[in-house]
Amino acid sequence: MSSEPGSSERQEVLSVEDVSVRLAGREVLKEVSFSICAGEFTGLIGSNGAGKTTLFRVILGLQASTAGKVLVAGSPRSRRNPQIGYVPQKFLLDPDVPLRARDLVGLGLDGHRFGIARPSRARRELVDEMLAAVDAQAFADARVGTLSGGEQQRVLIAHALISRPKLLLLDEPLANLDLPSGQEVVALLARIASEQGIAILISAHEMNPLLPVMERIVYLVGGRAASGTTEEVVRTDVLSELYGRKVEVLHIHGRVLVVAGPGNDSDDAHKHEGPLIAVEIVQ
């Protein structure tokens, strides 16, 4: 269920084909396949250790795959690919570090270049435009280390967007945010995806905060993936096959819960390689 046949209008920005990765003798990713098209908001859902970070590293070209291939906008990805914007997981920057939000956004444009950036009107206007796109003007001149988690995420998103990528990868952007800040970031990303036609792949260990905007999902369990629209994947039969035993998908008050199905001993569940919790609120 990687990509629907006959949907030739979908302009593939990212295509992951049968990617497997072995690290220290352990199979971290097993024949993972999915594709993402322009303007789509895709969630990469999985618990810790499911292989989300490894998959990101493969897409970014920081980790070689044992088998399979990754195509970015139709061509094999290179190590530095300006078509991919990347927002890493939370970083810790000391409040004293002399780097303003606008400096960090500017580094998104030319941070990989050697030498010192020449200030120019065009550069400054572009930075201002990006800061505005993520509603960060109010703290544009504050040191990045003094900003809250949500504000830092927005600055990092502007940093990633300024090079006009076709694909934006975000590694657990909601992990350290409170609920309202998380909702703000998700709404902002959904707006960016639809307005700018950028494909967004966002990793998370819970899917519920993403459900309102997530069009497609890549669900990782123990290195294996199911992908498709949320309706196609978040189903009892599909997830049971992925987990390798019976689970049930429950819809409760607009939330999705994935719980161990009847006949599953909870002790047994813990031994399984797919970390399925007795009542797994994969949320």
Question: Does residue 96 come out as left (phi exceeding 0), alpha (psi in the -120 to 50 range) or beta?
Answer: alpha
Which of 5, 6, 98, 263 binds another protein (CB under 8 A)? It is 98
Cβ atoms of residues 106 and 144 within 8 Å: no
Residue type, 53: T
DSSP letter string, 59-103? HHTSS--SEEEEEETTEEPPSS-TTEEEE-S-----TTS--BHHH
- Tell me if 76 contacts another protein by CB under 8 A: no
Binding mask 141-170 for another protein (x = CB under 8 A): xxxxxx---------x--x-----------
Cβ distance to another protein smaller for residue 61 or 244: 61
For another protein, the closer CB: 144 or 234: 144
Query: Over the Cα atoms of the chain, what is R_g?
Result: 20
Region of 34-42, 74-82, 188-196, 243-251 interacting with another protein (CB under 8 A): 74-82
**How far, in Å, CA of 49 to CA of 273, rounded?**
10
The only residue of 23, 67, 112, 266 in contact with another protein, by rule CB under 8 A: 112
Interface with another protein, residue 212, by CB under 8 A:
no
Site residues for another protein per CB under 8 A? 60, 62, 79-81, 84, 86, 88-89, 91, 93-100, 103-104, 107, 110-117, 141-146, 156, 159
